[in-house]
Structure 1
Amino acid sequence: MAMKLSGRIKIARQHLAQTIGRKVSQKELGEMCGGWSQNRISNYEAGTRTAPPADCQVIANITGVRIEWLQLESGPMLESMIKEKQTYYKMNPPIIEWHEIDNFLANPKDFDFTGKERSPFAINNEGAFAVVLPQLSAYRYNPTKIAIILPIEKDENLTNQEVMCRCKMTGEKALKFYASVFGAISLIDPAKVFPPITLEQDSTIEIIGRVMIKYE
């Protein structure tokens, strides 16, 4: 199950404490980060506020954890945990087009990435891919234009997460929010366009993966 950003920030503070051999309070970490208040760190760790990318970078620098792990849960927590062998897992995934998704999913390792630009985010998962959103989606998610999709882990809790789904009959794909309401699973349009797609046992809708991050 994916760990929330709030939990990773707390673990980063605990790692710093282990590194220097003493307890590091939220107040002290805030001071180390440039005079932030204790409430700021507390809110980040409690999940009542989401740390923006710039703050994640500061916390990563101070605590010694990898920014990719802290912000995106990509790869190991520490640089020292990364094996020297270069594999796809350490690559910044190439950015594919929307119409190429099915070909990639059919055989990720044999997909032709020649001439493809790469995502700025290093992903520790060979099934992950970055994709250019179609014009309609790009408009809805403005100013976002690219999304990174991670494969679904076994027993992963997708509630309130954005996912990519595909119709088994037509191959049509879309990004939706995965919600559970009164025991029924619904896929809701991020633009709040209703009605949502409700998943039944014999549904032709399948979940391809979850959205890790979207960026311009």
Structure 2
Amino acid sequence: MADAVGIAGLIIGGVGSAAGVGALVYAHIANANAKKSGKAADDSKQLAEQANDLARESNTIATDARQLAEEANEFSRRGEARETERHDVHWEGDWDRPGRYVLSKLGDDEAHAVTATVVYDGERATQRADIITDNGHQLIFEFSTAVRDFRDEVRDHRRRREADTTGLGLGSTWGMNVHRVDHRVEWTTPKGNPRLHEDGGLTMFDHFYPDN
């Protein structure tokens, strides 16, 4: 009888131990699953954050692309406006007295970023202006060499006339003293189109002689 009770106790103890082991295994499995679930949740959160970052980057790219498209359209519109721009500006130059060359801007439109250069027999003079608006606006260029040339010509002209005894004007120097003058003007239109004007040729001071 005692043996039977002992055997029964052993059986019950074994069953209890097995149950305990089973519970331990189950707890371990549950803990492992919980860790996997937590890792999966962390991974999902990280993926969600990455997706949000990508979405923000996509929005930024889309905004930049839209801005570039708008700038390209604006550039195209400005280019078309420049190509079709009407511009009424031209230039004329002449001496208003020996040594003083006047370059006049003619036309009703504005001339921007003006650089004007006049060359008299190798002597160069340049003037610049940010903007010229008025029709008839004058740029004045002074040439000391032209003043000296004129005085020499007048003196020589008088001397030759005084020495001429024929009375036929054979000692005159009219048309003998020829010089070279050139002018060049660079400017831009109000819409930024570059413009260039060049002119030049031979010039004389005969018509300024005192006895003309």
TM-score clears 0.5: no
Class of the TM-score when normalised by the shorter of the 2 chains: under 0.3
Q: Which has the higher strand share?
A: 2
Which of 1 and 2 has greater Rg? 2
Richer in helix (by share) = 2
